[in-house]
Amino acid sequence: MMCEDVKTSPGILRDERGNVALLFGLMALPLFALMGGAVDYGNAVSVSSALQAASDAAVLAAASLPADASPDQRAGVAANLFSTNVAAHGVTGATPEIRVEGNSISVSVSANVPTAFLQLMRINTIAVAVSAQSTYTVDSSAKACLLALDPESLNGIHIQGAGRVNYPACWAHTNSLQASAINAAGSNATAIGAGHCAVGGIAAPLGNFSPTPISGCQTISDPFAMVSAYSSSGSYIASFATPAIPSNCAANNLNLKKGSYRLDPGRYCGGLSIQAQASVTFSPGIYIIDNGQFNVQSGANVSGSDVLFYFRGPNASLTIIGGGTVSLTGRSSSSSYSSFLFIADATNWGGVSNIQGGGALNLEGILYMPTQTILVTGNGDVNGSSTYFGMVAKDFSFQGNGQFNLVPHDTNATLTDIMANIPIVTNVRLSH
């Protein structure tokens, strides 16, 4: 029996090719879903990253608020910042759970991210969830040695020139609400302290302050007033009694020239001027500078301990120019007005008092002039050996090329520490 060749018909070949096409079609669907799933997953990761970044920023901002911020304020800041950040990334439908417990703020949020490709496999969303927590510490022992009280001042703390303001162991603070509350516009001056804090903003583009100043701080009350000169009522009540004003003047427009003098406490009407080459010793007590300047000119030698200079009247102000030797110490712990060296009556609005460096200029005690601007100028090292000096005033302007030192209560100080503490938020930390 002879075998015949079997010929494959073209139809059968076409049928095999159809089977391969069908098989490829069946495999293409899950393959397409798999590749598209990577896109969906990448989108979910992007949403998760945006939620995490928004959560981190929210808890850090809430923790960094002033120490007196309420839990509701912290929660509100966290919620607003979170919403702003997620909206910027185009994320919708994510509502955070915010908790403020003690010194801890936490945010947790979950969202279902819609899919585009995985829907082919009946996976319509991918769930993502993130959380963030921040903690902070309130340091109530931070010491102020420079406190500017005026909330409207354009220059709460201003530095310019090429000088340096030095207070490494204490803080500078201004209640100014302005954008330039702490500023050093176009200046090479520096201020180095434990910290610098403003209720308003910072304008120091050249990094003039070290460490970097903090904005948005809480308002610090006048430490020496029961009712501040900047209260809404416009009234003022000191926490101390006004010195008794003698009915008679110890001197009128006293101008001391070359020579040696010893002065006693009393009322100096029209002010007191000490010129170059005059050497003046102040006996312990209270000196009322009535409607005039206490003016120490360059080259004068001035000394006194357990003394207070009290300025009253519309023209009363202080001008001390170094160049000679100036050494003044405030009231002792056993005296009235303990630790005060200079006080200006708060009714004396708009005055300017000037401390100008040069020579040996050393002040011990507290300068308190709540409605006056303090202008610091000149060269030299002011308070280079002081163990205690702080200032509370309307605002401050530091100019010139010298160094001006502010000193919290040193262990060697003989005066009582009366300066205010500033509650500062520190150690803000983020965790996940």
Determine, yes or no, domain membership for 131: no
**Other CB atoms within 10 A of residue 218 CB:** 18
Cα gap 285→297, rounded to integer Å: 22
Positive or negative, the CA dihedral 150, 153, 157, 162 is negative
Using pLDDT thresholds of 50, 70 and 90, give the confidence band for residue 33. Answer: low
Rg (CA), the chain: 35
Q: pLDDT grade, residue 25 (50/70/90)? A: low
Residue 7 lies in a domain: no
**Nearest of 398, 406, 296, 287 to residue 341 by alpha carbon:** 287
User: Does one domain contain both 34 and 162?
Assistant: no
Residue 366 lies in a domain: yes
Q: Out of 74, 91, 123, pick the residue that ends a domain.
A: 123
Is the domain of 193 the same as that of 300?
yes
Residues 165 and 192 in one domain: yes
What is the residue-wise DSSP string for 109-157?
EEEEEEPSSGGGGT--EEEEEEEEEEEEEEEEEEEEEEEE--TT-TTSE
Is the per-residue pLDDT at 110 higher than 90?
Answer: yes
pLDDT 10s digits, 329-346: 999 999 999 999 999 999
Number of domains in the chain: 2
Residue 203 lies inside a defined structural domain of this protein: yes
State the average pLDDT over residues 407-420.
90
Residue type, 228: S
134 found inside a domain:
no
**8 A C-beta contact, residue 339 and residue 317:** no
As a whole number, mean pLDDT of residues 360-368 equals 95
Name the one residue in this structure whose structure tokens are 């702080």. Answer: 390
**In 21-41, which positions are buried (b, 16+ CB within 10 angstroms) versus exposed (e)?**
eeeeeeeeeeeebeebbeebe
The 10s digit of each residue's pLDDT in 116-138 is 888 877 888 999 999 999 999 98
Shared domain for 213 and 281, answered yes or no, is yes
- C-alpha distances (whole Å) from 209 to each of 3, 104, 145 are 105, 30, 16
Q: Angle, to 10 degrees, between the axis of helix 10-63 and the axis of helix 71-88?
A: 150
**pLDDT tens digit sequence for 366-397:** 999 999 999 999 888 899 899 999 999 999 99
Report if residue 132 sits inside a domain: no
CA-to-CA distance for 174 and 151, rounded, in angstroms? Answer: 8
State the Cα angle at 204 between 209 and 355, rounded to 5°: 65
Same domain, 66 and 146: no
Per residue in 407-424, is it b (16+ CB within 10 Å) or e — as a string? bbbeeebebbbbbbebbb
Supply the DSSP symbol for 243: P
- Percent of the chain that is helix, strand, coil (3-state, to 5): 20, 45, 40
- For residues 118 and 149, state if they share a domain: no
Please report, rounded to a whole number, the percentage of residues in the chain having pLDDT higher than 70.
Answer: 91
Shared domain check, 322 and 173: yes
- Give the H/E segment covering residue 43: helix 10-63
Whether residue 1 is predicted with pLDDT greater than 50 in this model: the reply is no
Q: Is residue 157 located within the same domain as residue 266?
A: yes
Report d(CA 349, CA 242) in Å as an integer.
Answer: 17
Instruction: Note whether 323 and 364 are within 8 A (CB).
Output: no
Cα separation, 155 vs 373, whole angstroms: 10
Q: Is the pLDDT of residue 76 over 60?
A: yes
Domain limits for position 74? 14-123
| 133 within domain boundaries | no
Distances in Å between the Cα of 345 and the Cα atoms of 149, 336, 350 are: 15, 16, 12
Same domain, yes or no: 275 and 380: yes
Q: How far is CA 305 from the centre of its chain?
A: 34
Token pair 């009694």 in the structure block, residue:
241
Contact 324, 276 (CB under 8 A): yes
Q: Are 107 and 27 in a shared domain? A: yes
Pair 409, 364 in one domain:
yes
> Is the overall model pTM greater than 0.85, yes or no?
no
Q: Fill in the DSSP letter of residue 63.
A: H
Task: Look at residue 163 and tell me if it is in a domain.
Answer: yes
Q: Note the pLDDT tens digit of each residue in 174-229.
A: 999 999 999 997 788 999 999 999 999 999 888 899 999 988 888 999 999 999 99
Does one domain contain both 150 and 251? yes
Contact 265, 336 (CB under 8 A): no
Name the pLDDT band for 12 (thresholds 50, 70, 90): very low
Last residue of a domain, one of 94, 123, 152: 123
Given 76, 92, 123, the domain boundary residue is 123
